[in-house]
Chain A
Amino acid sequence: MKAKVKKPRRIPRKILEAIDEALKEIEVHFTFDAFGSESEETVEGVEPEEAELEGVEPERVEAERVEPEHQSEEDEVDDYDDYDEDPYPSSISAEEVEVSIDLFISELVQKGVITREIATSFSEVFEHFFGWDHQITKNAQAFEEEIEGYFGSINYEEMRSAHSSITQIRTILDQEMGRSATK
């Protein structure tokens, strides 16, 4: 008897395009080639926090720079800002990535692609459309775990792995888009 070959799911082009568009919300936070050799070099004479502010409109930079004046006396004694260094390249912010994941889901909900009941997390979006055993779902689960960290802290290796997972998600999605275009 012939063994049944599992057919890959066909995902409507419209849905793939919506996921593709929403995924950019997350990818934009990894687009500075932060884990490449170039951006790991700090800009000469510029501290990581300052480098991060480059390209931000002047009002925001001003607001950031006056912030230390509001520190309490205790802060000044401890000089906490001496410890104000990131464990990963300055262009990546775990907090921004976290918000961008929720923007990803929000965008799909607002476009009517999913409902909040169907997908409550990043990986569930992929599980819903591609299936639990699809590689893209596994990558999405890995990305979620890597970006979660512990006690609000994410180490460099986890962020690096998250970057790798999101890259793989993009590769698979592009392949699916290509396949869908040729059908």
Chain B
Amino acid sequence: MRPSKKYLKHLLIERLTEIGLDSARIFDEASEVIVFGSMAVGISRTDSDIDVLCIGEGQYKIKRPFLDLIGVPVREANSKEWLQGELASHVAKYGTWLKGAPQWLHAVRIGPSVVAQKRRRIRRFMRFLPLAWSRLEPCFREKYSIKLRRETQRLILLEQRIPVPPTKVLDDSWTTTLARPPYEVIYRLRQLALETCGAFIEDLLDHIDTHFSKPAHQQSIISTRSRQIGTLLVNRRREKQ
């Protein structure tokens, strides 16, 4: 259930005050104050960050424990670049307005630049990680396997012009379905991996498989089926070419 505006406003003011920020000033200077992310949709834990977008005068970014605050000037929020971005589409779909009214929702459209940017980001990780993989501590290998899985899920959604949901939704969608997403993610990661780094991609996929604390038999089902289909998709595409 989505939390009420009153609850979110109270929580935000509390967290701003805790870190010594003037909440009244932040609300005064913004024409729109929007809570987004897991907190806005009611799937957060009590210690989760509260993600806030303030559209107003200044451009700023404040990251503190339990609070991520981003300020975007009105002019920028009306620009094509911003309206076609990942954040704008996410906020438009999942945001809760604490102040002001959403004036720009009609203009939001996921643009090709954000898809290209996401693809470029994954490609760069996939290009550099094989060179660093063996020297990274296990916890970091875990971190990047989670990151790459999530970023690839986001890429697939953005390509379909679907706003990216909060991260917990991405994680849950992976574990609750044996349908398209796991196969597609594995297919994409294999596609983006270089021919020369077979050991890296296999280890990466091993890590992706073990992210979730599910019964072992379920994990192996996901692992075997999605890998087989992912590999099959890659091979078929190659044969066609």
Contact = CB atoms under 8 A, between A and B. Distances in A.
Interface residues of A, number: 36
Interface in A44-78: 59-60, 63-64, 67, 69-70, 72, 74-75, 78
Contacts of A96: 124, 128
Interface in B63-94: 63, 70, 85-87
Interface stretch (A8-16, A31-39, A104-112, A130-138): A104-112
A84 B120 contact: yes
B95 to A, nearest CB: 14
Contacts of B111: 83
Contacts of B112: 78-80, 82-83
Interface in B134-182: 135-137, 139-140, 143-144, 151, 159
Looking at chain B, what size class is its interface with the partner chain? Answer: 35 or more
Contacts of A72: 159
A150 B61 contact: yes
Contact of B63 (A60, A78, A145): A145
A152 B151 contact: yes
B48 interface: no
Contacts of B143: 102
B67 to A, nearest CB: 14
Contacts of A70: 191, 237
A81 interface: yes
A110 B116 contact: no
Given A72-B159, A79-B112, A80-B112, A116 B137 contact: yes
Contacts of A105: 137, 140
B128 A99 contact: yes
**Pairs of residues from A and B, 3 with the lowest C-beta to C-beta distance, nearest first:** A83-B113, A80-B116, A83-B116
